[in-house]
Structures are given as structure tokens and as C-alpha cells.
Structure 1
Amino acid sequence: MSEYEWDNQIEYLTQTRGLYYNDDYLEFLIQKVWKIHEPVKMVDYGCGYGYLGLKLLPMLPKGSSYTGVDKGEALIEKARQILAKLPYPTEFIREDVEELDLAEAYDVAICHAFLLHMKNPETTLKKMIRSVVHHGKVICFEPHWSANMANYRFEGLEQSSVIPLGILQKLYEKDCEQHGKDGNIGIRVPALLSQLGLKNIECRVSDKVNFLDPTADQAINEELFNALRAEGIGHPPGDREKTLDQLMQRGLTADEAKRQYEAELLLSNEFSISSWLTYAPNMKISFGTVVK
């Protein structure tokens, strides 16, 4: 096993990324919102297996290049293997972002679901900004878990019975207080970009709405179901007493922990490939212009 946990999560990453964006929306952002009409040098902080490179390079002007940075040895190797098959200039740097300062050499700095893992996201954003040229862009694709959890609908189940939003919001806030991992960082990024001096700041939301439909093509439905399961939807909560204890350690009261456990248990019993489920991940896409 790798010492770096995300090196052991490549299957999860590759299974779930397709839940978040439609290609035509990303193309719209590049052409109409970010107005990238000339080749750019792009650097991806916490690149993983190169997901954003795979998505964006075919849409960017010809001659654009991609540099991926990640501390995961297996992730970087996977990214090299995948991107080597494509006709784009690429480079990969295996290093911890927290220990790395890149020179001012890029037109665009991006990250995807990365800042939420940083105890000091401002420090990472400062590094991103320093690596970008005057009038370049910083673009952050980051989650907003509270909005994410509000965007499920399970046919035949009351939303509040399987997703108690107030309890989940409390869990996210307590986790952030205790461990610095902010699953709601996506809604905070615009303010951070402004505080760090960026201009023309905007925030968009991912357009993808996933619909699990048991009447649809079986292969398509099975692929989506497997992705949703990999995302964690419908997993059994595990041993009752152990789970309750863990939830209370994370900051819930005994009653809140019991309600959350029962909600997860109900969903695990009810959710199947025959379910109707509508799910919008609600990823936030924040960006601004660097002025030096």
C-alpha cells in the first residue's frame, strides 16, 4: 500500500469524475466565459490521474500545454500513461504542493476537489497565484457539500428520511473545525480569491444532473449506478455502536447520531439499480484574473 492514501483511490477517482460535468458546459466556459482563444500553458495543482487535463486539453486552442502536480507516485504514473497517448504537450511533477513553489510561467492555474483537503487553502491559492503571469487566470473546481446533499431525490423516499440536512451541515462544520477539511470550500473560494487580490471574480455551478432510470439502457444505467455507489451513495453504515460512537466523536449528540445512522441504514436498504434517483453534484467553479 502506498503511504499516500490517494494513490490507493485511483479506481474511485476514475469511476466518479463523470458525475460532475457535461463536456459542452466546459467547452462553453472555455470559449464564452473564460474567453481562451489563444494557446495557454496550464498547471493543475493536485492533478491526480490528470482528469482536468483529459477534459480540457481537447477543448483548448491548439498548442496549449498541461503540467500536472501531485505528491502521489501512482497517480502521477497513471497520468503519464494516459496523457502520453494523446497529442498534447504535457509535463508532470511529483511533489507535495505544500512544499513546492513554481515559477511565474503559466497562463492558467487550476485545481479540482483539492483545496478542501488543505488545512490552509489560502497558502495553496497564493502558490497558484504566484505561478501565473499577469492577467492570467486561477480556476478552482471545488465542492459545496451542503448544496450537494440538498440535490438528491429518491423516488418513493422522503428526502429528510435519508438525508437529514441539518445534521449533515453540523457534521461538515465540526469536521472542518477539528481537522481543517472543508467540504464546503467551493462556496468560500470567491471570497478567498478577492482577499488575495484577484480581479473579475465569478463563480459558476456545474451543470450535470445525473438521472438513474431503471427503464433506460441497461449498460448505461449500470455504469451510472456503479459510479453512484463508488461516490458513497447507499453504502451500509456498518456496526451500529461503532458508527454511533464515531458520529458523536465528530460532534453530534446521541439523538443526532442515531438519526443519521438510521437515515444511512434506510438508504442502504432501499437504494438499488432499480431505483429512480436524480442527483446534481453542484460543484462550484470559481475563477479570477491575476493582476501583478
Structure 2
Amino acid sequence: MKMFVVRRGKDSLESIETVEFTPNINPIEKKIISLLIRRSMYPREIAKALNIEQQKIYYHIRKMEKMRIVEVEHISRKDILTKFYRLRAPSFLLRVGEFEPVNNITFLSKKKREFLKPFVENGRINTKIVLGSPDPHGALSARARDGYYASDLTMFLGSFSSFPPKPCVVLDTEIKNLEQNMIIVGGPIVNRIAEKVNNRLPIFFKNKAIYSKLTKIFYKSDNCGIVVKTKNPFNRKKYIMIVAGIRSQGTRAAILAFLQRFDELCKGNEKNEKVYAHVVQGVDKDADGVIDFVDIIE
């Protein structure tokens, strides 16, 4: 099992891989540590507990203080000036390498990190989440009804963030800069930005259905949705992710895929694992009219 030490840097969390080892320290110092790990003590008290000369204890305490193993917790001035010592920490690090930025303290496999990058990077949300407007808009004067589903997606992404995010949710009628990372929620009928990028996707919406350029298959169920990550056509240095369905229940299924099938989403399409493009299908398992389970069907 791997072990990491994590520290908070100026702009991100940083970590370094480590292993446990027992340093070659003096046996008396080991005994002092075993006492101080329980509570703070003063040198004369330590000497009495270990049945060792007080001057020897003072010597080792000063040595350990220089090594930054112990520190003064407080000073008592009741009858005589007495320094109480404690361990600086319950563990210590001998570092020879450099810390590196990490997403957060949650372990993520390489595949998961690659899938989330650059939307979540170095512990920060680095994307706009574009929702369809609930007001009539677009050529068909459509109203988006799937915006509240996005709360599950934002909470999911937030679980990988280590810092308070800046406002990142915007409506398709309000966003001006399309040359940035974007997670687009909802299909081309209810989301103008989805409409602009739709035909450039490896799996896209066509004739009220979903069509896969990878498998040449049409998917027509209203419960079907897509999760596609690809380069932003407006700026090839940035990325977009489409999380959308034929209807609102398909969008819900696409969002549920993050919560229930994230490992499979991160593997890429079965026809080409380098392409992050999937078709999902929602299932109402308990027959209450709400999608509560999702299968990845491509």
C-alpha cells in the first residue's frame, strides 16, 4: 500500500510519496518519545519516569529540540521555572525529493485523473458548467427542464476540489466566452452551446435520436443520453464535455453515470479507448417514474 504526505501549497495541494522507517536514534531518545507521545512532560518528570539522571535527560531534550522533534508546550512559573515539552507531531518526514501538485487527498487512478482533466485540476474547478435556460429560447423556443439535475454533477465534481470554487455555473443564453473549458448540460434543443458543437462530436444528436460515428448505431429511447469529452472546437487548447440526453430523463441518466458508472466512463469508448464518448440508458428500477439506475450501452 502506497503512502503519501500532503501539504497545502500556495495555490494547490502538494504531495510526496513516502515510506515508514525507523531512524537510528539514541535509545534514551526513543524512550523519551514514547512518553511524550502520550502527554507533555518536564525533564525532571521524564528522568523520574525513566529512572535516568536528570542531566542526561536535559542533554537529549536539547538535542531533540535542535532536531525539531520536540518543542516547549508551555512554561510553568508556580514555584520554579519549568518547561513542559511535547512532540512537534505524531510523525516525522525525512524528505529528499520535491512535493508535486495533486488534485486532493482523495486517491484517483491515472485514468480518472485524465478523464477529469482539465475540468478539475490541482484541486480546483477549472471549467464553466453551461446549463440550458429555463426560459423560452432558441429556434424552437424550448425551455430547459434538466438544470436541477446538474446539482448532482456539481456536487460530484466538488468532491475532487480542495479549494472553495469560484462561481462556475452559467446559462447558455449568458455565456460569452466559448474558448474556455466547458461542461455542457442538456442537448441541442434546450442548450444553444450544445447546438453549436453537436455535429462535431463523435456521438451526437440527429433526427431526435443519438447517433454514434464510432459504431454507426442510432439510439432512439428517450431514456438515452451521452457523455462525451473532446477538444473545444472554438479553442483546441481547451476541452468540452457534453452531458445530455434526448429528453430530460436522458440527461438525468447521463449525470447518474458519473455517480454510478464513473470507472466505466473513464475507460473510453469500446471501439476506441482514446475517445471519451459513451451512450447511457436510464432505468426506472422501482417504477416510481424517476430514473434511478443507469447502464452504459456504448
TM-score by length of 2: 0.28
TM-score by length of 1: 0.29
Structure with more of its chain in helix, by fraction: 1
Structure with more of its chain in strand, by fraction: 2
The structure having more radius of gyration, on CA atoms, is 2
